[in-house]
Amino acid sequence: MVKQLPPRSEVATEETWNLKDLFETEEQFDEALKAVKEQAETFASEFKGKITDASSAVKALSSYINIREQLVPIGTYASLASSTDQTDTNAQLRSARVGATGAQIGSRLSFLQSELLELSEESLQQAAEQSAEHAHYLEELIRWKPHQLHAEAETVLAAFSSVFNAPYELYNTTKLVDMSFEDFTVDGQDYPLSYIAFEGDWEGESDTKIRRAAFDAFSAKLEDYQHTTAKTYDAHLQAEKTTSDLRGFDTIFDYLLFDQEVDRDLYNRQIDLIMTELAPHMRKYAKLLQKAHGLDKMTFADLKISLDPSYEPSITVEESKKYMHDALKIMGDEYLQMVDRSYTERWIDFPQNKGKSTGAFCSSPYGYHPYILISWTGRMNEVFVLAHELGHAGHFFFANREQNILNARPSLYFIEAPSTMNEMLMANHLLENSSDPKFKRWVISSIVARTYYHNFVTHLLEAAYQRKVYERIDDGHSVNADALNRLKHDVLKEFWGEDVELTKGAELTWMRQPHYYMGLYPYTYSAGLTISTQVAKRVLNEGQPAVDEWLEVLKAGGTKTPVELAKMAGVDITTEQPLRDTIAYIGELIDELETLTEEIERQ
pLDDT digits (tens, 9 = 90+) for 564-574: 999 999 999 99
What is the average pLDDT value for the chain, to the nearest integer?
92
Q: What is the pLDDT of residues 165-206, one digit of tens each?
A: 889 888 888 887 788 899 999 999 999 998 878 887 899 899
- Compute the CA torsion angle 371, 374, 378, 380 (nearest 10 deg): -90
**Of 272, 290, 287, 304, whose CA–CA distance to 491 is shortest?**
272
The pTM is what?
Answer: 0.88
Burial 26-54 (b: 16+ CB within 10 A, else e): eeebeebbeebbebbeebbeebeeebeeb
Which of 335, 328, 521 lies closest to 413 in space, CA to CA?
521
Whole-number Å distance between alpha carbons of 165 and 181:
27
Q: How many CB atoms lie within 10 A of CB 318?
A: 9
545 CB-side CA count, 13 A: 4
Which of these ranges, 69-73, 340-344, 375-379, has the smallest mean pLDDT? 375-379
Cα distance between residue 479 and residue 226, in whole Å: 12
Count CA atoms closer than 13 A to 520's CA, side-chain side.
Answer: 32
1, pLDDT greater than 60: no
Q: Is 46 within the bounds of a domain?
A: yes
d(CA 327, CA 431): 11
Mean pLDDT for the stretch of residues 65-85: 93
**How high is the pLDDT of residue 536?**
92
337 domain residue, yes or no: no
pLDDT tens-digit series, residues 549-566: 999 999 999 999 999 999
CA distances from 424 to 51, 56, 78, 275, 530 (A): 48, 47, 33, 23, 11
- Mean pLDDT calculated for residue range 382-411: 95
Asked if residue 293 is part of any domain, the answer here is: no
Nearest one of 232, 215, 298 to 506, comparing CA atoms: 215
Residue among 559, 544, 590, 535 nearest 391 (CA): 535
Q: How much of the chain exceeds pLDDT 90, in percent?
A: 74
Element (H, E) at 161: helix 161-164
AA identity, residue 339: V
Domain count, the chain: 1
Q: Out of 196-205, 375-384, 581-590, give the one with best mean pLDDT.
A: 581-590
Q: Give the CB-side neighbour count of residue 35, counting CA atoms within 13 A.
A: 14
Q: How far apart are the first and last CA of the chain?
A: 33
Residue-range definition of the domain harbouring residue 37: 8-159
Count of C-beta atoms within a 10 Å radius of residue 264: 11
Q: How far is CA 565 from the centre of its chain?
A: 19
pLDDT of residue 2: 46
d(CA 492, CA 502): 8
Mean pLDDT, residues 292-308 taken together: 93
How many whole angstroms separate alpha carbon 529 and alpha carbon 414? 9
Candidate ranges 96-100, 152-156, 228-232; pick with highest mean pLDDT:
228-232
With respect to residue 179, please indicate whether it lies within any of the assigned structural domains: no
Enclosing H/E stretch for 547: helix 544-556
Taking alpha carbons only, the member of 366, 349, 367 closest to residue 358 is 349
pLDDT for 435: 85
161 pLDDT more than 80: no
CATH assignment at residue 66: 1.20.140.70
* pLDDT computed for residue 3 by the predictor: 56
> What are the start-end ranges of the H helices in 413-506?
417-432, 437-446, 459-474, 481-496
The Cα-based distances of 271 to 268, 302, 458, 491, 522 in angstroms read 5, 24, 12, 11, 10
User: Rounded distance, CA 491 to CA 254, Å?
Assistant: 23
Quote the CA–CA distance of 601 and 308 in Å, as a whole number.
Answer: 12
Please tell me the predicted confidence (pLDDT) of residue 222. Answer: 96
* Cα dihedral value 337, 341, 344, 347, nearest 10: -160
Q: Is residue 33 part of a domain?
A: yes
In angstroms, the Cα distances linking 414 to 231, 268, 410, 553 are 32, 16, 7, 11
In Å, what is the CA distance from 472 to each residue of 32, 81, 176, 457? 48, 42, 28, 23
At 186 the three-state DSSP class reads: strand
Please compute the mean of the pLDDT values over residues 524-535 and round it to a whole number: 92
Question: CA 378, CA 380: separation in Å to the nearest integer?
Answer: 6
Percent of the chain with pLDDT over 70: 99
